């Protein structure tokens, strides 16, 4: 079996990842919607704690969703590795999020290297078509026994 | 008086800004330490709510401190403008923050333009010399009557 | 007619843009391959001038292709506006480019605002499937008479 | 001797680095002005080849200067390592550069880790006080025998 093949199963199931996420990020309000090949979707309910006056979802909440979406996609790709850490994250805020909709983040990994993984995340107000923000992040991961990585 | 001159006073005092911040970011735990010419320092106490397992301050907390440091420096520069919004933020995580120290963010504005303001923020675990993270952010600000901006 | 509608024609044709590009970026070696709705593809031939020892395409060449791809997509969207200027660009280098293949950049605009336009660019070694780099850039554009922009 | 100590000499002299740079980046027009502890200054003469219509130094030229400034600072810190490669670079363009002045880039390394080095670069039109651009870049470096790195 080649875990790097394009239609390979993820190395951890969605429910494995959801449990692991709760242990590693106990404060997160994100839930795992989907984990696929080099991809993941997560969702974060929005309530008054996440809003600024005027009904804007605060930037750090969007960053947190992007970070979790990347982490979930990485766990699906390389297994339940507790030592993956974010090394950089950049985000562009594109539109005002809806005050009454959850934030959904969809991640696509662009590079799965031996020690660095890079991915991008589109962030949406649930139900709307245009993204509210776009993030690119890099994780550093511990060396793995075997990989297609470069 | 020319508010753009290099030794001009800030357009809003530290205590004006602290009150304004509480209104605009009611959830923030950041306090304003200092506001200077094109600069600001803010502080965020760290407790169990901000830690991940292993005692790491979570990335989105560092982003939030960077964002507030930028906002405070901008308010000091252009006055209490409620419509300033973050358009982009990028952060590099440099070292593991201490689990038992506050996070301090010091911002320096690099460009104060008519519609865009760009600044950088060094983030520290209070009492340690080397930064734990470094951020660069851009705010979009509403047009102002008079300015040296470009 | 609404130039912002999803199936609208671009505001400038591919050949208009190619001529304009030669005037504005006389040093560029990029050619315009395609201009679509909020998108563009450009191509840059690679010769010894663009290679570093070891046969790597130099980073600034990839940046230049990303910048031109963004510019071409913007011209297609808002017309031949000479005053569009890059305000920020971030790039992640993902894989070693081929030494003997052109670089192709495909841009997708994520936000077309009144004064800021944000887009992303995938950069490829021509003929290969995985991107060699990924860039996100922001352009500042002069105010326009009518627009769907926010 | 501990090469990581705060007042240690650089691991390679300015003239070692200048020769090495010419070998590794034969096309670069940058010259090495200074190499210090976790820092470097480089200079790039500006002529008509680097200008766009209107007398603006092109963005990719500024990126190239930032990239070389980072590389030179890294060589000073870890020695003449040919396999250091840029993994990411982000730049904010702050002011229009002068058409008739060289570009000077001053780099400060913020993290010198085992495998990742992160630095920032201020870019100036020679003789002017305010920076024309600011960049942050990350290099991946091959493992080294001994280091204070994390």
Residue A2 burial (10 A CB sphere; 0-12, 13-18, 19+): exposed
**Nearby residues of A10 by Cβ (< 8 Å), 6 or more positions away:** A35, A36, A37, A76, A77
**Nearby residues of D99 by Cβ (< 8 Å), 6 or more positions away:** D46, D51, D55, D56, D57
Q: Which of A26, A55, A59 to mutate to test the interface with B (most CBs of B within 10 A)?
A: A59
**C-alpha distances out from residue D122 to B70, B124, D36, Å:** 19, 21, 15
Confidence of residue C7 (pLDDT cuts 50, 70, 90): very low
Contact A30, A9 (CB under 8 A): no
Neighboring chain D residues of C67 at a CB cutoff of 8 Å: 59-60
Across the interface, of D92, D111, D134, the residue whose CB is closest to B95 is D111
The structure tokens listed for A18 are: 């959801």
The highest-confidence range among C9-23, C119-133, D76-90, by mean pLDDT, is C119-133
Nearest to C127 by CA among C102, C95, C96: C102
Phi, psi values for residue B145, rounded to 5°: -55, -50
**According to the model, what pLDDT value does residue C4 have?**
40
The nearest CA of chain A is from the CA of C94 a distance in Å of 6
Q: CB neighbours (10 Å) of residue A67? A: 27
Rounded Cα distance, C107 and C74, in Å: 10
**According to the model, what pLDDT value does residue C51 have?**
84
Q: Quick check: helix, strand or coil at residue D77?
A: helix
Cβ of B86 within 8 Å of Cβ of A63? The answer is no
Q: CB neighbours (10 Å) of residue C135? A: 27
What tens digit of pLDDT does each residue of B57-79 get?
989 999 999 999 999 999 999 99
DSSP letter, residue D43? E
Confidence of residue C1 (pLDDT cuts 50, 70, 90): very low
Q: Quick check: helix, strand or coil at residue B57?
A: strand
Cβ of B150 within 8 Å of Cβ of D120? The answer is no
Q: Which residue of D has its CA nearest to A111?
A: D87
Angle between helices C59-78 and C14-24 (to 10 degrees): 130
Query: Which residues, in sequence order, are bridge partners of residue A119?
Result: A109, A137
**According to the model, what pLDDT value does residue A53 have?**
75
Confidence of residue B150 (pLDDT cuts 50, 70, 90): very low
The residue with tokens 């660095």 is A116
Taking any CB pair shorter than 8 Å as contact, residues of chain A touching chain C are 90, 92, 94-96, 110-111, 118, 120, 131, 134, 136, 138, 150
Strands B51-52 and B56-57: antiparallel
**According to the model, what pLDDT value does residue C149 have?**
43
Across the interface, of C88, C90, C115, the residue whose CB is closest to B115 is C115
Is a pLDDT exceeding 70 seen at residue C5?
no
Q: Which residue of D has its CA nearest to C61?
A: D60
What tens digit of pLDDT does each residue of A35-89 get?
999 999 999 999 888 887 778 898 999 999 999 999 999 999 999 988 889 999 9
Strands D39-44 and D103-112: antiparallel
The structure tokens listed for A29 are: 């309000």
Q: Which residue of C has its CA nearest to A129?
A: C110
The residue with tokens 């070998």 is D23
Lowest mean pLDDT among C52-56, C78-82, C115-119: C52-56
Cβ of A87 within 8 Å of Cβ of D115? The answer is no
Confidence of residue A6 (pLDDT cuts 50, 70, 90): very low
Once rounded to an integer, what is the mean pLDDT over residues C144-148?
Answer: 57
Across the interface, of C25, C53, C93, the residue whose CB is closest to D88 is C93
Cβ of C87 within 8 Å of Cβ of B116? The answer is yes
Nearest to B110 by CA among D122, C84, D67, A91: D122
The nearest CA of chain D is from the CA of B111 a distance in Å of 6
Is a pLDDT exceeding 80 seen at residue B148?
no
Across the interface, of C90, C131, C138, the residue whose CB is closest to A110 is C131
Phi, psi values for residue B7, rounded to 5°: -115, 20
The structure tokens listed for C142 are: 């002069």
Q: Which residue of D has its CA nearest to C49?
A: D27
- 3 state SS for chain A: CCCCCCCCCCCCCHHHHHHHHHHHCCCCCEEEEEEECCEEEEEECCCHHHEECCCEECHHHHHHHHHHHHHHHHHHHHCCCCCCEEEEEEEEECCCCCCCCCEEEEEEEEEECCCEEEEEEEEEECCCCCCCEEEEEEEECCCCCCCCCC
Is a pLDDT exceeding 50 seen at residue B100?
yes
What's the ipTM? 0.89
Contact A31, A40 (CB under 8 A): no
Contact A137, A74 (CB under 8 A): no
Is pLDDT larger for residue C145 or for residue A106? A106
What tens digit of pLDDT does each residue of C56-85 get?
898 999 999 999 999 999 999 999 988 889
Q: Cα–chain-centroid distance for residue A33?
A: 11
Query: Which stretches in chain D have pLDDT values below 70?
Result: 1-9, 145-150
Neighboring chain A residues of D115 at a CB cutoff of 8 Å: 115, 140
Q: Which of D116, D117, D139, D149 to mutate to test the interface with A (most CBs of A within 10 A)?
A: D116
Q: Which residue of B has its CA nearest to D113?
A: B94
Confidence of residue C109 (pLDDT cuts 50, 70, 90): very high
**According to the model, what pLDDT value does residue C105 have?**
98
Task: Walk me through the domains of chain B, giving residue ranges and CATH numbers.
Answer: 3-148 (3.10.129.10)
Cβ of A118 within 8 Å of Cβ of C92? The answer is yes
What tens digit of pLDDT does each residue of A77-131 get?
999 988 889 999 999 999 999 999 999 999 999 999 999 999 999 999 999 999 9
Cβ of A53 within 8 Å of Cβ of B27? The answer is no
Cβ of A88 within 8 Å of Cβ of D140? The answer is no
Neighboring chain D residues of B110 at a CB cutoff of 8 Å: 92, 94, 131, 134
Q: Compute the half-sphere exposure of residue B121: CA atoms within 13 Å on the CB side of its CA.
A: 34
Is a pLDDT exceeding 90 seen at residue B91?
yes
Cβ of D120 within 8 Å of Cβ of B118? The answer is no
Inter-chain contacts counted by CB atoms under 8 A, chains B and D: 37
Neighboring chain D residues of B131 at a CB cutoff of 8 Å: 110
CA angle D106, D112, D114 (to 5 degrees): 150
The nearest CA of chain D is from the CA of C116 a distance in Å of 14
Rounded Cα distance, B58 and B96, in Å: 10
The structure tokens listed for B73 are: 């420096």
Confidence of residue A8 (pLDDT cuts 50, 70, 90): low
């Amino acid at each position: 079996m080649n875990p790097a093949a394009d239609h390979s199963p993820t190395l951890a199931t969605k429910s494995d990842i959801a449990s692991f996420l709760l242990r590693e990020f106990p404060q997160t309000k994100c839930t795992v919607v989907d984990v696929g090949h080099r991809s993941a979707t997560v969702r974060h309910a929005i309530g008054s704690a996440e809003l600024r006056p005027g009904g804007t979802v605060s930037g750090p909440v969007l960053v947190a969703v992007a970070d979790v979406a990347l982490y979930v996609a990485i766990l699906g790709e390389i297994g339940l590795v507790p030592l993956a850490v974010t090394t950089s994250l950049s985000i562009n805020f594109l539109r005002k999020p809806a005050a009454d909709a959850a934030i959904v983040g969809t991640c696509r990994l662009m590079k799965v290297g031996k020690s660095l993984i890079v991915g991008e995340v589109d962030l949406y107000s649930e139900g709307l078509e245009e993204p509210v923000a776009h993030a690119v992040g890099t994780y550093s991961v511990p060396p793995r026994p075997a990989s297609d990585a470069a």
